[in-house]
Amino acid sequence: MRPYVVLAALGIAAAASSAAADDTDLDLIPDAVMTDEVPKAPSAGSVRNSTKAYVEEALTFPGWRNRFTVRPPAQAHPDWKNRVSLDLRTEQAASDDVALTYSGRLNLYHQEGASFESRHDVRHDLRELYGTWRASPESFVDIGRINLKSGVALGFNPTDFFKSGAVIDRISEDPSVLRETRLGTLVARGQTVWEGGAATLAYAPDVHARGRAYETDNRSFDPGFDRTNAEHRFLLKTSLELAKDFSPELLLYREADRTKYGLNLTRGIGDAVTVYGEWAAGRRATVVEEAYRDALKTGLFNAGTARLMPGDRDERIMHDVALGASYATASKVTTNLEYHFHEAGMSRQDWRNWFDTGRSVSGSSAARSQLWQIRSYASDRQEPLSQHSIFLRSEWQDAFVRDLTLSGLANINAFDRSTLLQLSADYHWSDAWTFGLRGTGNVGTGNSERGSATQFGSIVFKAIRYF
């Protein structure tokens, strides 16, 4: 897709947009309680006393593939995994203008065939720990670890610049759940609002070299700053009411020597429909090239490791777009449909090269690891692996009976039609208890993105006790 096509698509969204696209503008998209029952954090800068806590038991039965076009590196294939978590979020005011916020999760893991060793099976996820000072009725300053979020889409957020490396445990395939449960970033943030606009300025320091771990690792009480604070980063974003019902949000982001620009737009159409769009652009290489460079930088590959995948090595301005709409019915069904364009992602030719290269090096474990590292890198950055994809999510509250929530999502590769599916059912037994069932599947041929995943699916049984 050419840049002028991307800009044209955003122009269509802009013509139909309104309302500011700050973090609070996610409320403009009518979505219900998350299927994984993640307590929603209070808005940034509020000073009040509140505490939310729950214990979750999650028993997972994964289904592993045993036939591959490109065989993955050797890994354990347990028939079951179990996680018990204590999740706590508390905000305590020291005075009318000063507060301290903590958000974290203590996890106990166990799986088939593993001996219990506390160093590996117990982990604390420090999501947030920061102080807030209300400098004036319109201005706030926050310092500490904060989960900085931007964007109005559900399946992919091009303007959510602080998402990379922050997801430490994929408790769900629902991106809106992962946004809430990821690690925050050590940052200093200032926010101010005025009639007709708002602005945020944030600085995240470089405090630790980037680590080599992807997705899940068990490092007990390590805060994981190598994931979230491996570069100096700046963010400036502002929303301005340019006309009645038209308040776009503009973002300027700087990481190391790279600058990105972003735009968020949303508009409600009547009481049932909301349309929205996100755009971001900046200089970078493709995911294939960046994965290789990152592996060299973190020591995952030796300095002399040769590139296996052919393709573009240069950096250039690349665009990301998420365009979507949501529809809510009177029967409490909310559906979101989105198109995602990730220019740095793998093209149709890149996928052919990935499978062809995998066949040619099938006997080399190191070579196959290089190919699979591309997929791990994209997952770690919370970016689509392919250039074009379609995202669909639907949720039905009080489905068939009161307090039963059914939800489902599909993430479709537009090239090969392979699909990630997730279906969930949660029954809210009482104010104190919720019981749930979730099934996930990767559907597609062996020569497709989802059909070549290591798992063909999984089933999760869970119980949550609120306090």
Q: Where are the domains of the chain?
A: 3-466
The answer, yes or no, to whether residue 11 has pLDDT greater than 50, is no
| CA within 13 Å, CB half, 135 | 9
Residue 120: per-residue pLDDT: 62
Reply yes or no on whether the pLDDT at 198 is more than 70. yes
> For residue 217, what pLDDT is reported?
55
pLDDT band at 215 (very low <50, low <70, confident <90, very high): very low
Tell me the Ramachandran region of residue 303: left when phi exceeds 0, alpha when psi lies from -120 to 50, beta otherwise.
Answer: alpha
CA-only gyration radius of the chain, Å: 22
Residue 30 pLDDT greater than 50, yes or no: no
More confident residue, 345 or 42: 345
Helix count (H) and strand count (E) of the chain?
A: 7, 18
What confidence tier does 131 reach under pLDDT thresholds 50, 70, 90? very high
- Residue 43, pLDDT above cutoff 50: no
Q: Model confidence at 37, in pLDDT bands (50, 70, 90)?
A: very low
pLDDT of residue 121: 87
With beta carbons less than 8 A apart as the criterion, state whether 177 and 31 touch: no
Which has the minimum average pLDDT: 102-116, 348-362, 394-408, 450-464?
102-116
Q: Would you state the pLDDT for residue 129?
A: 98
d(CA 125, CA 86): 10
Average pLDDT for 46-64: 90
According to the model, what pLDDT value does residue 100 have? 97
Q: What percent of the chain has pLDDT over 70?
A: 87
- The reported pLDDT for the residue numbered 243 is 74
Q: Are 343 and 386 in contact (CB under 8 A)?
A: no
The reply to whether CATH 2.40.160.10 applies to domain 3-466 is yes
Q: Report pLDDT digits (tens) over 297-309.
A: 888 898 889 999 9
The pLDDT value given to residue 378: 96
Distance separating alpha carbons of residues 105 and 142, to the nearest angstrom: 21
| Lowest-pLDDT choice from 156-170, 199-213, 257-271, 451-465 | 199-213
Q: Does pLDDT of 2 surpass 70?
A: no
Mean pLDDT of 354-369: 91
**Which of 15-19, 87-91, 236-240 shows the lowest per-residue confidence on average (mean pLDDT)?**
15-19
Q: Across residues 364-370, what is the average pLDDT?
A: 91
pLDDT given at position 29: 34
The length of the chain is 467
Task: State the pLDDT confidence band at 214, using cuts at 50, 70 and 90.
Answer: low
Burial class of 122 by CB neighbour count within 10 A (0 to 12, 13 to 18, 19+): middle
159-178 pLDDT, tens digit per residue, is 999 999 999 889 999 999 99
C-alpha span between 76 and 68 (Å, rounded): 16
Percent of the chain with pLDDT over 90: 75
| Residue 41 confidence (pLDDT) | 36
Do 427 and 415 form a contact (C-beta atoms < 8 A)? no
From the number of C-beta atoms within 10 Å of its C-beta (0-12, 13-18, 19+), residue 308 rates as buried
Tokens of 253: 């982001």
Mean pLDDT lowest among 12-16, 95-99, 150-154, 174-178 = 12-16
Q: What is the mean pLDDT of residues 31-39?
A: 37
Predicted pLDDT of residue 337: 98
Give the model's confidence band at 250: pLDDT under 50 very low, under 70 low, under 90 confident, else very high: very high
**Average of pLDDT values for 68-95?**
93
Query: pLDDT class for 143, splitting at 50, 70, 90?
Result: very high
- What does the DSSP assignment read for 272-318? TEEEEEEEEEEEE--HHHHHHHHHHHTTSS-TTPPP-S-S----EEE
178: left (phi over 0), alpha (psi -120 to 50) or beta: alpha
**Across the chain, what does the average pLDDT equal?**
88
DSSP label at residue 146: E
